[in-house]
Amino acid sequence: MPSAAGETIHPAPSATTLAARLLTKRFGARAALREVSFELRSGEAAGIIGPNGAGKTTLLSILAGVLAPDEGELTQTGGSVGWVPQQPALYSKLSAAENLRLFARLEKLADPEAAVARMLEQTALADRADEEVGRLSGGNRQRVNIAIGLLSEPSVLLLDEPSASLDPRQRERLWEFISALAQRGTTVVFSTHNVAEVERYANRVLLLADGELLFTGTPRELEQAVGGDPRDFEAALVDFLHQRGH
């Protein structure tokens, strides 16, 4: 993870917060996930990567509890799981504060107003709090989207392609925010098509293809697995997929 100075930081993971065992999901005859198993620890940032149709969103949906697996089991210890879907799940006619307040009340938080104020502060949206979400920029909408996922101060945060449709500046600010969360001990799991984001911000790679988990380890371990140029993570990823017949 990069620090404020841009230096990559991979804090030492601690206790297991999320464990998936032999997760399988089928849509009709097609297997979207096949016996996927992994464990994630507190403060770990896991990037799910793979070609289109690999099963990234399906895996995140199962981890979020939106989809139920056909087989396998999921264990989550301590705290709650926050989920940030790919498309901002917000009411565009409500303001940022009203969206946060609604979900804080639905989550039955002890002090909804304090939670709203805290999230507006953390996402630097306090000055736009009363603006209708439909009038906010894509980046600010995504920040509100993430803020809702963080309302309950979850121990695990799941993000489905969080940087999609953001410009480079917004993307940079988003990753700063997510990195800070991981540094504070939140387990972060994100999916992305951007290989550079995984190399830069993840300390664990989950490589999926055709519903199968082909690799789990650090970005460096993936490069070593193919024996390629350690300075080119993307080339190593492509080689790895070729070697596995994808």
Partner 1 sequence: MRWLLVKDLQILKRSPLLVGLLIVYPIAIALMIGFALSSPPGKPKVAFYDEVAPGQGTIRLGSQKINVAGYASDLLSSVDPIKVDSEAQAIAKVRDGAALAAVVIPSDLPQEIQSLITQGVGDPTVKLYLNTKDPIEKQFVDQAISSRLNQVEQDVSKQVLHVAVSDLQEVLDGGSVQILGQDVRLLGLRNARTIIQGTIASLPRSSPLRVALSQVNAFADLAIQGLGFASPVLGSIGTPLTVDETQLAGRTTPSDAYAAAIAVIVSLMFVTVLLAAGMLALERSENAYPRLVRGLVTPGRLLTEKIALAAGCATLVTLVMAAFVSLFVHLDWSRFELWVAALALGGLAFGALGVAIGGLAREVSAASLLAFLVSLPVAFVALVPADAVSGAVKTALDVVAFLFPFKAALEAVSNAFTGTSPGAGLPLVHLAVLAVVFGGLARVALLRFAAR
Binding residues for partner 1 (CB under 8 A): 61, 64-66, 83, 85, 87-94, 98, 102-103, 105-107, 132, 148
**What is the spatial distance between Cα 38 and Cα 22, in angstroms, rounded to a whole number?**
9
Residue 120, token pair as written in the block:
């507006």
**What is the spatial distance between Cα 189 and Cα 93, in angstroms, rounded to a whole number?**
30
Q: CB of residue 81 vs partner 1: minimum separation in angstroms?
A: 9
* Residue whose entry in the numeric block shows the structure tokens 């790895």: 240
Q: CB of residue 23 vs partner 1: minimum separation in angstroms?
A: 17
Strand partners, 207: 49, 215
Q: Closest CB to partner 1 among 160 and 199?
A: 160
Q: CB of residue 192 vs partner 1: minimum separation in angstroms?
A: 19
Q: Closest CB to partner 1 among 94 and 117?
A: 94
Collapse the DSSP code of 46 into the 3-class scheme (helix H, G, I; strand E, B; otherwise coil) and give the result.
strand
Spell out the residues 6+ positions from residue 106 whose beta carbon is closer than 8 angstroms to its own.
Answer: none
Query: What end-to-end distance do the CA atoms of the chain give, in Å?
Result: 29
Q: CB of residue 111 vs partner 1: minimum separation in angstroms?
A: 15
Q: Closest CB to partner 1 among 150 and 214?
A: 150
Q: CB of residue 85 vs partner 1: minimum separation in angstroms?
A: 6
Q: Closest CB to partner 1 among 108 and 231?
A: 108
Residue 242, token pair as written in the block:
């070729």
CA-CA distances (angstroms) from residue 141 to 137, 168, 183, 208?
6, 15, 24, 29
Q: Closest CB to partner 1 among 132 and 176?
A: 132
